[in-house]
Chains A and B, each alone.
Chain A
């Protein structure tokens, strides 16, 4: 059971940061993951009013506030047109609408959960995170960092034209994914991420002018990725799924990209 001694709504990010340095203090996102824990929280820090819950279009990026809910991302037209609906596709199987109205983008990325659909997608799309003290780091770098005692204020997604595809396999519709992948083609570089291995998502990059096929990419990714077993699936099954899902996602991206190019010629 989760117990909270004190609930704090700081007036500034600095006050929130100071409070977060104390042992037993916790920053609240949507609280859905925190809720599962069996712990006594000294101070629960609510960032409402300090970090945005919307998505700002800055012209060359989408700057997503840490308190934007997964449902806000899923239903944001601009974000989904930009990403060929990869954002929506990656979020729509996470538990249910009521859940996604609470779970935050910030909590989902900050947690860097191994099972995450969110990290797999935003990693492939080249996102960065803004941390109050640390500054801006790429999500890729953030995923390699250990424990971070900072406040995530924004997730920044470049608006460069991208062709993307997201696929996941679940044993049951709204369960955690057994494996997920996102392929994103931007500026001649195809990024493929594999997550829910069940370890944290990892990215691979392939220049498309090398003429490498979807089959080869799938073989390479499945061969290089470390998988593990858990109650949902074995390591071997995940490697097999990886080959299939990566091949399908890359094929989809290459086909969509060719179709876009053909439309541009017309």
Chain B
């Protein structure tokens, strides 16, 4: 089946099988930031934006993305670079495996709630599992970024 979608701002047309998952399509198109942690919709590592909304690419059929817009971390480098340093500063990245999913979902969080409370941060990121940290580092990092923004330091 032929599908055409907008991937990170560029139109892409490709042939896919009926059961090709968006995750595999993206990896085959050079988006290596998208990783698979569980393949059972449980960990959040494969998060991408589909028409601007965060979804699990391991659980979406590529054919269902036909005609839609998909954005991965490769297309959001600038937006991510604003806050990832703050997360790293808090020691929230240990093995770093969960990081691409966290960053993608943090982008979605900050677009939807530009000034979230800590509870809103935790609730929004609850679907991103991290086996190393206790999640506090990520929350502190996002808080530090938001504070710096409010204080006009960015």
Contact = CB atoms under 8 A, between A and B. Distances in A.
Size category of the A interface is 20 to 34
A98 B56 contact: yes
B19 A4 contact: yes
A228 B44 CA distance: 31
Interface residues of B, number: 27
B123 A92 contact: yes
A259 interface: no
A258 B19 CA distance: 54
A46 B19 CA distance: 13
Interface in A93-120: 93, 95-99, 101-102
A68 to B, nearest CB: 13
A5 interface: yes
Contacts of A93: 126
Contacts of A133: none
A198 to B, nearest CB: 18
A44 B126 contact: no
B128 interface: yes
Contacts of A99: 41, 56, 127
Contacts of A71: 53
A46 B1 CA distance: 15
A98 B123 contact: no
A106 to B, nearest CB: 15
A7 B127 contact: no
Given A93-B126, A98-B108, 9 more contacts: A3-B19, A5-B18, A31-B60, A36-B41, A71-B53, A97-B54, A97-B127, A99-B127, A101-B55
In the A-B complex, the 9 residue pairs with the closest CB atoms? A96-B127, A7-B18, A4-B19, A4-B18, A98-B54, A32-B41, A101-B53, A98-B56, A35-B59
Interface of A: 2-7, 28, 30-32, 35-36, 41, 44, 46, 48, 71, 92-93, 95-99, 101-102, 173-174
